[in-house]
Structure formats: C-alpha cells, structure tokens
Structure 1
Amino acid sequence: MSKVQTVQEVPGLTAPPHQGDGSGGEPTPMPSPGVDGAVDPVSEVDKKRHGVYYTPSDAARILCAWAIRTADDRVLEPSFGACGFLVAAREQLDAVGAANPRDRLYGCDIDPEAFSGFLEPKLGLSAGGGRFFHRDFLRVALDEFEGGPFDVVVGNPPYVSYHNTDPDQREASERALSRSGFQTGPKSSLWASFLLYSTAFLKEGGRMAWLLPSSFLYAEYAAHVRDRIAERFDRSLVVQLGQRLFLSEGTEESTAVLLAEGFRPLPSNEDRRGTTTGEHSILIDFAETLSELEASIEAWEEGESVAQPFVGRAATAYIKGDVEDAIERAAGAGLAVTLGDLADVRIGIVTGANPFFVIDQERADECGLSDEVLRPILAKFAMVPGAELTYDDLTDARDAGARLLLVDTAHPELEVRGSPLRDYLASFPRARRHANRTFTKRDLWHRPDDGRPPDAFFPYMYQHGPRIILNAVPTTSTNTIHRVYFKELEEDSAPEALEARASLSDRGWMRACAVSILSTFSQLSGEIQGRAYGAGVLKHEPSEARRIRLILPPSLSEDGVDAAFHAVDAALRDGEPELARRMADGFVLATMPTSVRDQTVSVLAAALDEARRRRHPLKRASTA
C-alpha cells in the first residue's frame, strides 16, 4: 500500500496525545482483516478518511535507483498500493540487466484495488504463487514467500497513529514483532511496526529504502526505531524533505527518506531488543527538493556527504561547528539556564468537551447565561498579541466572537431549579456524559477547572518561536496552551541565579524571563527541542518546553527589565516579532562587545532561519 495514511497525524485534525479532550468524534480505524487476513474493498471515501495517498513516481524512482544494485536482486514492497515502488523497481531491475524484472518483485496489500486497479493493469501480475498476498503484511510470515529472504525492501508504510489503529491491528503488530524478536516503543504508529518487521525479511547485507512520516525524526517512540536501525545496518542515512510530496492529494504531511544498507542479522539466541552501541550511527541531512535528495544520496555514496550524526534531535543536521561555538559564546555572556530550572510547565485544563464548556458571547446570550456564571479563559494563543495577557486582550477577543467564556458551575445559580445554568448543564446528552472518559476522572463531571491559574502561558503549537506570556488577569488556559508556574530558587542554586533573582521583584523576574525567551539564542533552542508537524507547525510537549535554554544577564535592575519588557511587548503588538527578537538579543547579550555580539547573533540567526525554513513546507511538487 504505497500510500500515506496521514489524516490522523496532521495537527489540528486530532487531539494531541496528552490532551485526551474527548470532545471530538471517535477515531476511524482502518478496515479490519477477515479470517484470511484480507479486507473488504476500500472505497474512495474510506481512503480520504484514512489519509490514503499514493507515492509520487519520482520519489519511488530515486529510492529504487539507490536500493537495487544487481540483476539478481529480489525486491519486497510490504504495502504496494498503486504500485509506484513496484513499477520503479521493475524499471531499475531492467536498467541493471535483469532478464525478467517482474519475476523479482514481491508484495502485500490489504486493498483489493491494489490488485485489480494497479498490480494487474500496470505489471500484469496477480495475487498468489508465493509472491503477492492480499493480506496485511504484519500477518504474513517470511516462509510464505517463495525464495526466502530479500535483497531489498522498499516502500511507504501506512502512517496510522496508535490512537487510530483498531485492536486487531495492534494485536497483529505485536505478534509480528514478537515473532521477529523486536518491539516498538509505547503507543507507536503503524509505520514503526512495518519498518521493524520488514527487517526480518532481509538477507544479510540487504538494503532498504523507505518514505516515512516526519514522526520518524521527532516522536519519542521513534528513537527506539532509530536505535534498531543503527544497530542492525552498517550505515544509514535519513534525509528530511522540505518539499511536501502529497500536496496534490490534500495533505501537507512532511516526510523523510530512510536509506539503510549492510543488514546484519543477529544470531537466533541473541536479543534484538538491546540498545545500539552507537558504532553505526544514522546520519541526517536535509533536501529542499527531490533533485536535492538525489544529490544528497550521491554525495553519501561517494563519501562526500555533509550529513551529520543523528544524535537525539533532528536539529543536529544544522547545528554545525560555528553554530555550536556561537551557542557557547552566547551562553557564557550571562546565566544560561533551562526554562525547567526556573519554572514548571504543565498542560492547560482538560474540559472533556471544549465546545460545550468554552463558548462565545453569542452562545451565552442564546442560553441566557449571565456574566456571573462565565469566566474568561485563554483558549487560543492568537488571543495574546503581546508578551502579557491583559483584560483588554480578552475583551477584544470576546468582542471579536472568540470562544473564551468558561462555564462556571461553581456558581450558586447551579442550585436553583430552572436557572439558565442548570438548564444548560442538563442539555448535555446523558449518553455522551457517561461515555466521556475525561468526565469519569472528575468528582464533578461538569467542573474542569483545577483552580490553579498560572504565572504565565506557553504555546503548545505555533508557527513562530516560543514565548512566555505573563498572566496579568489572572485566568487559566485550555489544554491547547501550556501553563507556566515559576519556582522559588533553591538555596543550592547557582550563586549568579540567586543574585539575579534577589535584585528583582517577582514581576521583574518573570518579565526578564519573558524577554529572554524571545532572543535568537532561545528561539533556536526552541527549534532544537521542538517537533515539526504538518504545515510547518512547531510543537512542544511540557518536557520539551522545560529543556529550552534562556540567558539572563549578569546584572539586572527593575527599571532595566521593565523597559526591555515594555519594548518587546509593544513590538509584538505591532506585529514586529523580528524587532522584538533584536531587542531581546540586546538585553541578554548586553555585556558582549558590540562586534562579538553582532557576529554571534548573525551565526545564531542564520541557524534559526535554516531551522524555520526546514520546518515550513515547500509548496510545490516538482523535482526541481
């Protein structure tokens, strides 16, 4: 099934894993196999709902040209779909002199159309004969294929998230990996199972080439997959693609190409679940277009690659020597700390049904809900144009029709029979209430607020860089926005930190942090720690936000901090984030000589621009 099943992983189409909001519809699982592992036909509607999109021919050609080396190579495509990879493999086998290229192709797919609509018309092949199976690849064993292990595995696995796989799929995945001695991380997507299981079908010395979702670069569970690849192959390269390959199919899912060669099977008595030694690390590169991808592969083959070792985060691809030096110079200009050193970052409140509990003024008027039973809540980060959330910001958003009114069921009106508040709660369907898992976790199903307004807010997903928004109202936020609680510094904290903290009021200290995070140094740190999704959105889980580095100047005064804060706040409100960043640079690097500061910021800014360029999609599908 050479296709991308991406709808469930595109930001904005499903609740992020930690949110558990429960307000959306139930996930739509992929079709379940029958007794023989086959499934009913997948309709066009089903394909769109499941995000089924076919691999562009140019991408398949490039991967097959690298993977297939000799006329004797046998090639497996575990989910061949529209046969993009199989056609490219046939052409490459023909190019290297295979007498009968079609006889060296093998594959699986659950979709009948993959056979009747593509395999037979394009290649003149059909199911059966130990070569092509109308079944889920995860339910097929190696000994069912004629001829034994393969020289090459190529493909584009299903991009179905853990939350959108049905129990049968999960069971098939677990059994397949157990048979082959592998395991994936918790709640891993289906592509990870396909990738690991496919290695059990390779000959010693074999190659594989995959077109993968960007979660291979960023997801926590993907680190385990990468470790297994590094452990089992002599060398491997992952190339992050700037060009979005599936725009014509209606998705901006970003992709990465994985190439691995020199497969090394483990002895049967050796545990495949160990950790990699790091001896065979994966390299990571970036290619804006498919043409650049070809050039990257060629350079890698010729030993001239500029790819960097993939250590921890995908951002290592653009953190080179001069950038590392600039980071260290900047960090040495003041007190370098992580946000987690100074504050705790937690998710916002989980209502379980945002459209019901967080409403706009029009809905409140329709239901007769007065201001006394409504409280403002930060529901969208766009409601805050500056560095501080104010009453005026909330008033402007309310007047603009934003949903930011939290229904407050702690109000005494709830006890009055026939009151608008009581009637409103009664309008929530009883069946939905009992089925909502979030509601069952609360003492009162209708009271989501935990009564802990934060000191500040931090965006969960956004197009630009990280920000700390001080909470001047105060209010709380929904789980689309993180909450920040500043800590009291411990007595054993760095003396510089204690001295800086002692020189400022609580408000001044928080303002200094809000300015610092806007600096080029911290913006780049945010790119390093975050994960890119969909149309270039940057996402930070609380743990990732805590790892973002800040610089606090060695000498702080209340007046100086206030002046810097008001300046960046005004710049942000005027729509000038780059001006705010330059102001923040001047604030955190104030002790640096001007020439050194300018040079340092220039290097950091170039790396930041590169990071953001890679994150945002190239909206064309050409190979140029």
Structure 2
Amino acid sequence: MQLINDTSAQKLRGAYYTPPAIADFILRWGINGCNDADILEPSCGDGVFLKCMYDGNILYHSITAIEYEMAEAEKAKAIPLHKSNVVNSDFHRFCLDTDKHFDLIVGNPPFIRYQYYNVEQQLLADEIFKKSKLKRTKLTNAWVTFVVGSCQLLKENGKLGFVLPSELLMVKYAQQLRKFLAQTFNRINIISFKNLVFEEIQQEVVLLLCEKNGTDEHFIEHIEVRDTNELLKLNPLRLRFPTKKIDFHTDKWTYYFLEKEELDLLERVKCKNMNTISTFANVEVGITTGANDYFTVPQSVVDLYQLQEYARPMVGRSVQVNSLCFSIKDWKQNIESGAKANLLVFTSDADINGNNGVKAYLENGVKEGINKGYKTSIRNQWWVIPSIKVSDALFLRRNNLYPKFVLNEAKAYTTDTMHRVFIHPGVNKKAFVASYYNSLSFAFAEILGRNFGGGCLELMPSEVGDIYLPYREENEQIFDTLDTMLRRKATTDEILDYTDDIILRQGMGFSPEEVALARSIWLKIIKRRLSRETLEKSVKEKNI
C-alpha cells in the first residue's frame, strides 16, 4: 500500500485484527461438522483465524491464506497447520489470477479508503468489479472489493463469513453490494454488537454470514448480541433458518433490524395509499457557499462593512430553529442574539459597483485565501454563490432525537447544513409539514438515514424524499398547536401522543395496536442509535 505521511501504517493497511472469539464463531458456523472443506482467508494478518483452527483442532481439506505485509505473513506461516499455504501477495492479484474455488471464505478484510490505493491496486480492483458486472467508485472502501472478489471464488454451495464495518448496512457506496449479496446468496445472517468490538478505532462492526444452497429462496436475519461473550453462547445452528424474505426494493439493510411483525406493519403502510415526501415536494441540498464562515455573517459584520444591499435572511444551524414554522420574528431574534443570520449574496459586479465597505470585504476575502478554496476557485467570480433559491420548507440534514422539518415562512436561505424542500403547487404547506410529525414517518427516517458518529442521524435529499408521509389537508388544523408544543420544548412523547392519535388513528384509520407498534419501531431504532453515542462517550472518557 502507499503510505501517506502523518498516517499510521496500521490505519493505512486497515489492519485491526479480529478478536479470537469472533474468529472462532465464524469458523464454527462455516465448518458446521464438515471435515473436507477448502478454506480461504483473503487477508490473514498475523493468522488469527489460522491460530483458532490450530487450537480447535478443526478438520479441513486445505487452507489458503493471503497476506500483503511480509512480516505478518511470516507470523502466519509459523502456525503449524498441515495442508496450509500462506501466500505473501496482494489479494487483488490473487483473486484475478487463481483458478481455485473454495467451500468457505472467512476473514476481516482491511478498511482502506480509495485514496490509499496505489494505481495498480485501483486498476486491479476495477477488474474485480467488472467480473461481477459492478461499478467501483472513488467512495468504495477496500473491504467492498474483498467481499466482491471472495464471492467470485466460492464454490456452488459455498459460504462466506466476514467481519465488516456496519456501513455495509446503510452507506450509499455499498448499495450495489447489498443488492449483489442479496441476489448471490440464499441465506444471509447479520450479527451486530451492542458494545464496540474494536474499541481502539471506535468502529462499529457486524458479522456477515452468507450461504449459497442452490435454491431460488433469499432469506435474511439480523441478530444482535451484547459482546463477544454473548456471541459464543449463540448456537450457530440457529443461523441455518433466517426468516425474513429479502426485499430487493429496499436498498438499506437497517430495515432488517426489525421483527417480522414490525416489518409487516411497514409493508402495510406502503400498501395503504400512503405516499412519500417526494410525491409532494422536491428535496435539494442547501446552498453550497464554499466558505460558510465568510459568506454567513452576524448583523455586526453587515453593519461594519455596509453590506446591507447584499445581505439576505438565512438560517444555518439547528439551534436557530426551535419550531414548526421559521418566521420573520424568529429570524429577527437570531439577529439580536448575534447569530450568523445573514447570507451574503454578492452580484457579479459587486467588486466594481459595491460601496467601499463591500470592496474592502471582498479584498479581505482574497487576503484570507477564500478565493482559492475548491468551490470558490472554480467559479467565474469567486464571490458569486450559485443556486440561490428560497425553499418552502427546511429539513435538517443531521439530527439527534429526530429530523426537524420546518415551514420556511421567513423565506430564509439556508446552507448545506439543511436541505431545501420545494413543495408542489396545490399541496397545503402547513398540512404537509405537520403530517411528518408522527411515529411512522419518524421510523422511516431512521431506517432510511445513516448513523453519523456520536449517535447523529444523517439523511440525504433522496432519503428524505423516500420517507412515507400520511398527508391529509385536514392536518393543517394541528399546525399551530404543534408549533406551540415545539416552541415550549414539549417532549417527543408528548408530541407523538398528540399527533399519532390525530394523524395515524383518526386520519389514516390505524388501530390503537398499530399506532403503538409504530411508536415501538421508532423507539427501538432510535435507542439503538443513541446507545452508540453513550458508548462512544464512555470509550473516549476511558481513553482520556
């Protein structure tokens, strides 16, 4: 691998070695009484899986292990396993050159970003993807390539057991991989952990256990255990019968954290004449200024440089939005508090026709190098921000308890910390925004979004558009009450107790039991997400 200055060699290799308990479990699942398997470990490191096989006296036909780092390969070779072949090579090259196929492939592939690949590795990775009719992008992490390549090396009824980052379940760059796995394997089990397994990198991982059996069935199951000790108590035979049919229209596997009863309710929602946000509105990213600290300013800066001609109302942070409706009054309160509540929308001739204060501010931007930023440097005039549009509503990109959806009554601009929602003509704007505040829509937001460090939930525009929304014009009637509740900081339970009854039970005809189940789905997923935040904090405090 290419080593980058100021980055540890371990991080560049993605080398965080598997706890023996996990390796042992994957092997027990994969072997499952077989004594003549041909086994591959595509990135064996110092030989954790090989050591487990030796210590457990596991029977097999042959073992092939690949390791890129020579020093680690030598450690693996020192493990006295018969019929084993440790190859000091790049798995990419091995995958493309070998004519061998395997009954079982196990391992913990490296977590390496695209930019740490050298040119040869990038070309080899592209070839691996092409063999499976997949496309690799610059966002694709090395572990994805290892999974795709390993699938190509499996026998007709082979098994694959990997330790992978939980990103597998949700990130966009792994979307085609999820579809590929769903189509390739007949049984998929995902095992996740409530506690972090790799504390040194605070990386949440899952075990991906896949099996081909030659049938037309495609089932998946998710099992969560507390830690490696609880994992070892899990009977691998339980994994032989996943119960949930794979939904090829669902592009994220967080969906399968839920039980069958919960999944059935969500399927009924999709069939209950309930539409998604994208039916009623277009969702776009907020304005990309290229330098928020320069283009978003408090009133004091506007006054100091006499920028009033170019200053526009804006809202850019979640703390500036504490209601269902962002009004002119709310914007003025942000101005008075000293918040950066102005967006500087300079015209192309501002450097010539602007007053002395405007010219001084633009000159300061050059002195500070604002004009040399990536986004600003590719513009015809670096100070002219593109895509200046005011949206009807705002949807926060990153959120804690739940994503905020706010009517933009103040006609304020927003940066890319929020998404812009342009509501279609004929849709009642107040009813549309109010309709979002219910347990089912909150649950879909959790399912569609991505956990983004510290327990934060992030949704991109397309994901916001896919949230199911029980829109009815009658929901306008609860807008003012809901706005008041949000302003007085009512608890989420208070809000949902009120809205679920009116929106879901009375408006959509859901039974009290279905409404309660919808709430439990949301609570189940959000508690899982926020428990990671608590765990991350405790790990950081321990490290301090």
TM-score normalised by L of structure 1: 0.72
Task: State the match for 1:77 in structure 2.
Answer: 41
Q: Secondary structure at the match of 1:205?
A: strand
- Residue identity in the other structure for 1:409: F
Of residues 53, 59, 78, the one that matches 1:92 is 53
Q: Do structure 1's residue 64 and structure 2's residue 64 form an aligned pair?
A: no
1:521 is aligned with what amino acid?
A: L
The one-letter code sitting in structure 2 at the alignment partner of 1:193 is: T
Contact 2:221 2:244 in 1 (8 A): yes
Instruction: Give the corresponding residue for 2:541.
Output: none
Q: For the residues of structure 2 that align with 1:144 and 1:330, how far apart are their CA atoms? A: 46
Contact 1:204 1:262 in 2 (8 A): yes
Structure 1 CA distance, aligned partners of 2:4 and 2:465? 47
Secondary structure of the corresponding residue to residue 518 of structure 1: coil
**What is the identity, as a one-letter code, of the residue corresponding to 1:154?**
V
Structure 2 residue 274 is the aligned partner of structure 1 residue 336:
yes
Q: 1:608 — aligned with what?
A: 522
Tell me, yes or no, if the aligned pair for 2:156 and 2:212 is still in contact at 8 Å. yes
CA drift of 1:319 comes to 5.5
Take 1:399 and 1:54, find their aligned partners in 2: how far apart are those partners? 53
Contact 2:287 2:388 in 1 (8 A): no
Does 2:433 correspond to 1:514?
yes
Contact kept? 1:379, 1:481, Cα under 8 Å: yes
Offset, 1:541: 1.9
Q: Cα 1:329–1:410, aligned 2, differ >3 Å: closer, same or farther?
A: closer
Tell me the distance in 1 between the aligned counterparts of 2:345 and 2:507. 51
- Give the deviation of 1:430 after TM superposition: 8.8
Residue of 481, 505, 515 corresponding to 1:564? 481
Q: Is the 8 A contact 1:285 1:306 kept in 2?
A: no
Q: Distance in 2 between matches of 1:360 and 1:523?
A: 33
Give the CA deviation at 1:349: 1.0
Shift of residue 550, structure 1, vs aligned partner = 1.6
1:256 aligns with 2:206: yes
Amino acid paired to 2:421: V
Alignment of 1:340-351 (within 5 A): 340-351=278-289
Conserved in 2, the CA contact under 8 Å of 1:87 and 1:123?
no
Letter in 1 for 2:288: V
Cα distance in 2 between the residues matched to 1:67 and 1:42: 40
CA deviation string 1:45-95 (max 9, x = no partner): 3545787544333333322332245455444332334x3xx3244323542
Amino acid at match of 1:347: V
Equivalent position of 2:497 in the other structure = 582
- Residues 139 and 176 in structure 1, CA contact (< 8 A), matched pair in contact too: no
The one-letter amino acid paired with 2:178 is: R
Q: Is 1:300–2:238 an aligned residue pair?
A: yes
| AA aligned opposite 1:321 | E
**Conserved 8 A contact 2:21-2:232:** no
The match for 1:485 among 422, 430, 434 is 422
Write the deviation string for residues 490-546 of structure 1: whole angstroms up to 9, x where unpaired.
Answer: xxxxxxxxxxx6xxxxxxx22222222111121122223333343433222212211
Deviations 1:77-136 (A, max 9, x none): 32334x3xx32443235424449x9x8351222x456357x647x8489xxx96221x43
Secondary structure of the corresponding residue to residue 488 of structure 1: coil
Residue of structure 2 aligned with 1:543, choices 437, 457, 462: 462
Letter in 1 for 2:56: A
Give the secondary-structure state (helix, strand or coil) at the position aligned to 1:591.
helix
Stretch deviating more after TM superposition (353-362 or 236-245): 353-362
- Mapped to 2, the partners of 1:173 and 1:142 lie a distance apart of 9
Q: 1:181 to 1:352 in 2, by over 3 A?
A: same
Q: Report the secondary structure of 2:411's partner residue.
A: coil
SS in 2 for 1:300: helix
In 2, Cα distance between equivalents of 1:361 and 1:604:
44
Pairing partner for 1:183 from 114, 125, 134:
134
The verdict on how the C-alpha distance between 1:297 and 1:43 changes in structure 2, with shifts beyond 3 A counting, is: farther
1:217 paired with 2:169, answer: yes
The alignment's C-alpha RMSD in Å is 4.1
> Could you tell which deviates more after superposition, 64-73 or 45-54?
45-54
CA displacement, residues 361-390 of structure 1 (integer Å, 9 cap, x when unaligned): 78x489856555544432222321221223
Indicate the residue corresponding to 2:196 in structure 1.
Answer: 244
**Pairwise CA distance, 1:399:** 6.1
Q: Deviation per CA, 1:184-215: give whole Å up to 9, x if none.
A: 45453332211111223334433221112223
Pick from 72, 93, 112 the counterpart of residue 114 of structure 1.
72
Deviation at residue 602 of structure 1 after TM alignment = 1.0
Taking CA–CA contacts closer than 8 Å with sequence separation of 6 or more, which of the two structures ends up with the larger relative contact order? 1
SS at structure 1 position matched to 2:470:
strand
**1:138 corresponds to which residue?**
92
Give the counterpart letter for 2:264 in structure 1: E
Change in 2 beyond 3 A, CA 1:429/1:620: same
**2-structure distance, mates of 1:66, 1:457:** 48
Kindly report which structure 2 residues correspond to 1:383-532, keeping only aligned pairs within 5 A, or say none.
383-394=320-331, 397=334, 402-410=339-347, 414-415=351-352, 419-428=356-365, 436-439=373-376, 442-489=379-426, 509-532=428-451
8 Å contact 1:184–1:225 — kept in the other structure? no
Shift of 1:260: 1.6
Residues 377 and 468 (structure 1 numbering): CA distance in 2 closer, same or farther, change over 3 Å?
A: same
Write the distance in 2 (CA, Å) between the matches of 1:355 and 1:347: 18
Gaps spanning 5+ residues in structure 2: where? 539-544
Q: How far did 1:605 drift?
A: 0.9
Kindly indicate whether the alpha-carbon contact (under 8 Å) linking 1:466 and 1:518 is maintained by their aligned counterparts in 2. no
Amino acid paired to 2:177 = V
SS in 2 for 1:249: coil
Q: Distance in 2 between matches of 1:171 and 1:431?
A: 39
**Residues 553 and 589 of structure 1 are in contact (CA less than 8 Å); yes or no, is this contact kept in structure 2?**
no
Map 1:18-57 → 2, pairs under 5 A:
31-32=1-2, 45-48=8-11, 53-57=16-20
Per the normalisation by structure 2, the TM-score is: 0.81
The Cα of 1:168 is off from its aligned counterpart by 4.5
**Alpha-carbon distance between aligned partners in 1 of 2:67 and 2:14, rounded to the nearest angstrom:** 19
Distance 2:468 2:508 in 1: 22
Matching residue of 1:26: none
Change (3 A) 1:450 1:226: closer
Does the residue aligned with 1:388 lie in a helix, a strand or coil? coil
